[in-house]
Structure 1
Amino acid sequence: MSEVRHPASARTARAARYHGVKDVRLEQIQVPAPGAGEVTIAVSHTGVCGSDLHEYFSAQTVTPTEPHPLTGATLPVVLGHEFAGVVVEVGAGVTERAVGDRVAVRPTYSCGECASCLRGHPNTCTKLAFHGLSAHGGGLADFTNVAASMTFALPDDVSMVQGALVEPMAVAYHGVRLAVTEQTRVAFVGGAGPIGLGAIAALRSLGVATIIASDPSASRREAALRLGADEAFDPAVTTLGEALAGRTLDVAIEAAGVAAVVETAVTELGPRGTVVLLGIHERPMPFDPTSLLYREVRLAGSSTYTDDDYRAVIAAMAAGGYDPSGWVETRPLEELHSTFEELRTGGPVKVLIELQPS
């Protein structure tokens, strides 16, 4: 695209700005010069996330209607928190990045002061904010500014498409890492959407011997096998117990937001097995906590990711993991609204918006 420059290195950019439910507008915005410690990124690809769909179709939830306590941002905001691009300008004091660097972006902001941050867990910060949901700027724009510390270099053999997948794959990797130990032999992933597929790839990269997945969609089951699952079954046809065929289940990753997956996994887990919740559940579910007791089964939540998760996913991509072929599609920014509609009714497993050619 042709670039229009303004005083103080400001840039004009196309951007998808969220104003409210069913109100995302493609607008021209001004992206200022990067501040101290910041870089300007020419965005290559940005993923459309389930949280974007929820904000667009259902309810304003994460996007701030009043100034966010950490970032000060308020509606309208630029969407897009799963993205990768090229550094085109660096601010004062930046030494770890240079113009031309290809990077993936960790979009989270944390306060550094709450109990989570002080204990070294900024991913569970009480004021957690996201670039592309609750900050000034986002990845569904031609350019955006972020702190250099939020960027991670992409090796030459990791594509920009993969770079835009690092964020959701790191979500899955973090959850898997909470559960997998040296004793983990058999793992189950319920749901083969983007996060479930990321969990399968993470389990494979961590050396789990047997990975079983389930999903009602045949195309998603095929993607699960491509990403590293040994078996993938339709839960309408086969039960988890039947799929296990007498094997002891060590870890279950719930990636569908479906209560039945949790209930079934808890029933089938072996001694000291772990269920990790990655799916977003829109309603409470009936649950008998006594079912956890006698086998010492653990139920764990997982929130976002750490810098180490980003590094691990990128390293696994460089080693040949997380192949996007067959389950990731790209669209131009002008097709964002039709992409929202397509994803709402099923459609592709994962769609990336291509802002600029790789």
Structure 2
Amino acid sequence: MRAARFYGKEDLRVEEVPEPSPGPGQVKLRNAYAGICGSDLHFYFYPESLPFDPSRPHPLTGASLPQILGHEFSGTVVEVGEGVTGVKVGERGAVFPLEVSCGECLACRRGLPFSCLKMGSLGASSPSGGLAEYSVFDASLLHVVPDSVDLRMAALVEPMSVGWHAVARTGVQAGGTALIAGAGPIGLGAWFALKSLGVEKVLVSEPSADRRAAIAALGAQVIDPLHEDLGTAVAALTDGNGVDAAVDAAGAGPAVSSALASLTPGGRVVVVALHEHPAELALTGLMMGETEIAGAVGYRPEEFDAVIAGMAGGFYDTSGWVEERSLDEVVDALHALRAGTGASKILMRL
């Protein structure tokens, strides 16, 4: 089968590899679409920023380079391994990529497997990944989608769940107000989640004209933070009170600083973006307003299902921000996303 395998920094090759077979408890998926994620960009361009060293065998999975990338993917079950009873051949689904965590560290004991330092996921630290024609994994990781959700949409469940989890971490309630920094896929996921949860007053701050136009076409209120005054826009949205919640999906220090300054007393900023560089923050305002900064990584299985339900209910729309390319174009796709040209999300057809 054909697969995109990562050999090292800026070295990703589409090549022929053996087709996998499912072991006990596993399913084999004919992959349909796989998305390129922001963490894939870090993997490819800046692996030294990752919390693990991809050049060494993973301590739990044993996976080592070259590695098939891709952890946002969907497909159709073509084979099931011994002992699998909950999934049938022909079912379609989205893949929950968290494959393993140690189960022993404090993060795991507190129910935070994505914060486990030994966490392993498909398409990052596993022999299997989504940027291939076929993949095998534990049957419990497949979340079956209803007929109303096509496989193209199903490949977006993973990134949309990241946005959903970030919003859940803010604690914002229906009728509240929110600011989103960044209108990439995770920012879009946060916007869809907020709308689904009844938060109507949402401002999206995005310096890219193309990304502003794409989310504005979906109905979002947008601002260019480089040429417009964010504080004035937040005041207009909230009658001068500041937003209840902010989501940093930009990965830039100034975005976090401006989000903190935009909060109402007691509000919370949730950082869901990877930051390649340290940020300087003015923290006196945080102290004076009893505001908070929190992190968000990954998602819970029930949040995966909530996004699938939202998609089935028609709350998600891919118009204007999703682009498809063939697997042979995967390196070009990485460079396009890094440069911020074209669509916010690129799905590779498999």
Tell me the secondary structure at the aligned position of residue 31 of structure 1.
coil
Query: Per-residue displacement from partner, 1:266-290 (whole Å, max 9, x unpaired)?
Result: 1121111000001211111112333
In the TM superposition, what is the alpha-carbon distance from 1:51 to its structure 2 partner? 1.9
Q: Is 2:349 the partner of 1:354?
A: yes
CA deviation map 1:66-99 (0-9, x unaligned): 2101111011100111100001111111111100
Partner of 2:171: 180
Q: Is the 8 A contact 1:328 1:351 kept in 2?
A: yes
- 2:90 aligned to which of 73, 83, 100: 100
Match of 1:5 in 2: none
Residue 126 (structure 1) shift: 2.6
Answer yes or no: is the 8 Å Cα contact 1:201–1:227 preserved in 2: no
Residue matched to 2:248: 254
What does 1:93-242 align with in structure 2 at a 5 Å threshold?
93-108=83-98, 109-182=100-173, 185-229=176-220, 231-242=221-232
Q: Distance in 1 between matches of 2:280 and 2:258?
A: 12
Contact 2:47 2:54 in 1 (8 A): no
> 2:97–2:122: 8 Å Cα contact kept in structure 1?
yes
Q: 1:87 aligns with which of 70, 77, 82?
A: 77
Return the offset for 1:180. Answer: 2.8
> Secondary structure of 1:261's partner?
helix
TM-score, length of structure 2 as denominator length: 0.94
Stretch deviating more after TM superposition (127-136 or 49-58): 49-58
Query: Does the 8 Å CA contact 2:247/2:272 hold for their aligned counterparts?
Result: yes
Aligned to 1:232, the other structure's residue is in SS state strand
The corresponding residue for 1:293 is 287
Match of 1:318 among 292, 296, 312: 312
Task: State the one-letter code of the partner of 1:188.
Answer: L
Q: Secondary structure at the residue paired with 1:41?
A: strand
Whether the 8 Å contact between 1:200 and 1:227 is mirrored in structure 2 is no
After superposition, what is the alpha-carbon deviation per residue over 1:214-245, rounded to whole angstroms, capped at 9, x for unaligned? 1122221132234452x101112212211122
Correspondent of 1:70 among 54, 60, 67 = 60
Q: Which residue of 2 aligns with 1:278?
A: 272
1-structure distance, mates of 2:121, 2:88: 24
Corresponding residue for 1:340? 334
RMSD: 1.5
Number of residue pairs the alignment of both structures matches: 342
Contact kept, 8 Å, 1:63 with 1:133, in 2: the verdict is no
In structure 1, distance between residues paired with 2:160 and 2:93? 15
Judged with a 3 Å threshold, the aligned counterparts in structure 2 of structure 1 residues 183 and 17 are, in CA distance, closer, same or farther, namely closer
Q: Does 1:28 align with 2:23?
A: no
Deviation for aligned residue 1:183: 6.7
Check conservation: 2:186, 2:249, Cα contact below 8 A: yes
Q: Paired residue for 1:7?
A: none
Q: Which residue of 2 aligns with 1:306?
A: 300
Please tell me the residue identity of whatever aligns with 2:14: L
Secondary structure (helix, strand or coil) at the match of 2:277 reads coil
**CA–CA distance in 1 between the matches of 2:97 and 2:314?**
24
Secondary structure at the aligned position of 2:136 is classed as strand
What code does the residue aligned with 1:330 have?
E
CA contact under 8 A between 2:204 and 2:223: conserved in structure 1? yes
Higher alpha-carbon deviation: 318-327 or 176-185:
176-185
SS at match of 1:294: helix
Task: Tell which deviates more after alignment, 214-223 or 129-138.
Answer: 214-223
Tell me the distance in 2 between the aligned counterparts of 1:320 and 1:180: 24
| TM-score under structure 1 length normalisation | 0.91
Structure 2 letter corresponding to 1:149: S
Contact 2:93 2:142 in 1 (8 A): yes
- Looking at structure 1, the residues matched to 325 and 13 of structure 2 have their Cα atoms a distance apart, in angstroms, of 17
Is contact 1:70-1:111 (8 Å) kept? yes
C-alpha separation in 1, matches of 2:47 and 2:57? 18
Counterpart amino acid of 1:345?
A
Shift of 1:202: 0.7
Deviation per residue, 1:160-219 (Å, 9 max, x gap): 111111111111110110113337611000110111111100111111120110112222
Whole-Å Cα distance in 1 between the matches of residues 282 and 330 of structure 2?
Answer: 42
Gaps in structure 1 of 5+ consecutive residues:
1-12
